[in-house]
Every structure is written in structure tokens, then in C-alpha cells.
Amino acid sequence: MSEKYEKLSDRQIEISWPDLGLTVTADLDDRNPALADALWDSLPYQSLQGHALIAGEHLYHVSPIPALLHTPHDLRIPDRREAPNGTVFCSGLQHLGIKYGTLTEPMPATPVGQVREADMPALLEAGAAIWEAVYSTKKQIVAEVRRAGEQGGHRIPELPAATADAARLIADIHAETEKIWLEPPVELDGLHRGVIPSQAGNFGTVLPTLLFVNGETRPLGYAAYGGIVRGVVQGMELDSLKHMTRLMVGVPAEFLGYCGLEQLWAFTQRFLAILDGLDRDDFYAVASQMALYINCLGGWNLQLYPWETGDHLRQQAA
């Protein structure tokens, strides 16, 4: 892609991986200014760094930015494979992503900036190290995103709610999210060590349970809660949203509770119990706080999952 775009003056961000001793600088630009604003206003933050597992040479992590779930875009690249290496994206899946090489997935994407050319060698080095960590070594690498030249830091937003029940639930979800944001959740860590209190997994097996947990958690955060939040912002009727919530979140959360994510199921039960009494603002706040929590769980699933178990299977030429 050769299109020109304007830099947003004085808006440079640094993406650092202290564990690797690497930092890159990216210039935010005017392709999606509302998304760039949401990112800029959230800084600084830290997050567990992830790597694409089936899409190619792409880094992404969960950003603690509730607005990413629904902020509208001005420009969507039809096929992110064509974006220049070093393109920085913000997505409705609550991710900050960076393309650092060849991609295979023809996915639309919303760019917000570009890593500087001089920093591309460091980005390539980070990409290789992070792939090794996610796929093989399980080393937990933290990304720090900050305004260029400023100090780093970290915080998880806690959304306000007017009703007491909603405020208490949000406070508890926020506290749990803070606890697990940079440290593996005890429940997931136990699952990946074979500790499954319900004995989910036939005949003592573990891998099928891990696979099902990963497969249910991702769509619950990305599609169900992400869709619910977007529905609120886009003006869907509140009664319809509440009905959709009952249809979409209870069954997968109950199943995940059986598999070991008991805290998620407990939060879900509390949300459903107070649903009828929530106004639009409080409904948005609880759903957004739940989305961030579940997307954090999803990130840890991808980090902890034993991908090397299938290393003997390799793609064959057609």
C-alpha cells in the first residue's frame, strides 16, 4: 500500500518489551483518529504480549481500553496482508496489533500508526522472541505501551455505575482483572497443570479440556460481550439487549465454570441476577467490565496452552 497519510503531531508511542531489552517507536497518524485518541488517552499501560498463532507474523495484546470495543473507524484496510510491515492496528477485539512480516489471513483491519523504519530490526527481533515464548518456552513477556519520552505505568479502568449492585459487581470484576492482568489466573494455571476439580476430561485427559476452554472463552469475550457492548452504543433497545445477554452468555459461562473457571461463572450469575434492574448506562458498564476480564482470560489461555504438543503435525503441500 502506497497511500500517504498525515502523522498526528507530537503523538509518538513507544512499545517496549523490557524482558527482551527492546523498544520500538511508532508515529500515530490520521487514518483512524478516534481510535488513535482512545489509545493515546489510555497510556501508559502494560499487558501480556501475545503472538498470532495461525495468521502469520503479527503481534497483539489485550489493551485495557473499553472504548476499543465500539469506537468507530474512518478507514478499514480490506486486507491487512497488504499493509506495510510495522503497521500498528487497534481492533474491536480490544487488541493493539503490529504486523511485522508476512501474514496469511485476509482480514480487514483498522490502522492507527506506523513503527519507524529505523526500529524495524528491533521489531523483527521481538517478533521472533515472542513467537518462541508463546509457542515453546512459555516465558511470559510483558509489553509496555507509553507516550514517547514519558514514564511507563499501568492501570486497569474501573467503569462507574449508579446502582449499588452494579457498582459492587464492577468493583469485584475490576479487582479480579487487576489481579490476573500480569499474573496467570490461578484457575487457568491449575488447569494447565492438570488440576481440574470437576474432573472435566474423559479418562483423566487434560488436553481436550484445555482446547474446549480456549474455544469457548475467545468467542464469549470477542463476539458475545463485544457484540453486546456495541449494541448498547449503537442504540439497540435495552430490553432486546438484556434478552440477547440471557441467550448468549449463560450457557458458555456455565460450561467454563464446570471446566474450572468458577470465578467467571460466579460473575456471570451475578450479572444475570441484576440484569432487570440495570439502566442503559449501568448495563454498558457491567458488560464492558466483563468483556475486559474475559478477554484477559483469553490472552492467558493462548499463552499457557501447550502448542508444542502438536509439533509432530506439520502442513503438507497440496
Q: Render pLDDT for 42-56 as a digit per residue (tens, 0 to 9).
A: 999 999 999 999 999
Banded model confidence at residue 298, pLDDT cuts 50, 70, 90: very high
Banded model confidence at residue 308, pLDDT cuts 50, 70, 90: very high
- Please answer whether residues 279 and 162 qualify as being in contact, where contact means their C-beta atoms are separated by less than 8 angstroms: yes
Residues 157-186 have a mean pLDDT of 98
Does residue 217 form part of some domain? Answer: yes
Residues 290-314 have a mean pLDDT of 96
Does residue 139 form part of some domain? Answer: yes
Does residue 1 form part of some domain? Answer: no
Same domain assignment for residues 202 and 72? no
Same domain assignment for residues 131 and 267? no
Does residue 155 form part of some domain? Answer: no
- % the chain with pLDDT above 70: 97
Same domain assignment for residues 135 and 247? no
- State residue 186's pLDDT score: 96
Does residue 130 form part of some domain? Answer: yes
Same domain assignment for residues 298 and 214? yes
- State residue 1's pLDDT score: 41
Same domain assignment for residues 212 and 261? yes
Banded model confidence at residue 8, pLDDT cuts 50, 70, 90: low
Domain that holds residue 199: 164-308
Does residue 140 form part of some domain? Answer: yes
- Please answer whether residues 247 and 183 qualify as being in contact, where contact means their C-beta atoms are separated by less than 8 angstroms: no
Q: Render pLDDT for 235-257 as a digit per residue (tens, 0 to 9).
A: 999 999 999 999 999 999 999 99
How many separate domains does the chain show? 2
Mean pLDDT of the chain: 96
Same domain assignment for residues 179 and 134? no
Residues 304-312 have a mean pLDDT of 94
| pLDDT over 70 at 9, yes or no | no
CATH number at residue 137: 2.40.100.20
Same domain assignment for residues 108 and 206? no
What cell numbers appear for 121 in the block?
530490526
- State residue 10's pLDDT score: 82
Does residue 316 form part of some domain? Answer: no
Q: Render pLDDT for 147-159 as a digit per residue (tens, 0 to 9).
A: 999 999 999 999 9
Same domain assignment for residues 223 and 89? no
Does residue 314 form part of some domain? Answer: no
Q: Render pLDDT for 267-288 as a digit per residue (tens, 0 to 9).
A: 999 999 999 999 999 999 999 9
Which of 44, 39, 45 has the alpha carbon at shortest distance from 71?
Answer: 39
Same domain assignment for residues 129 and 69? yes
| pLDDT over 50 at 2, yes or no | no
Burial of 247 (0-12, 13-18, 19+ CB in 10 A): exposed
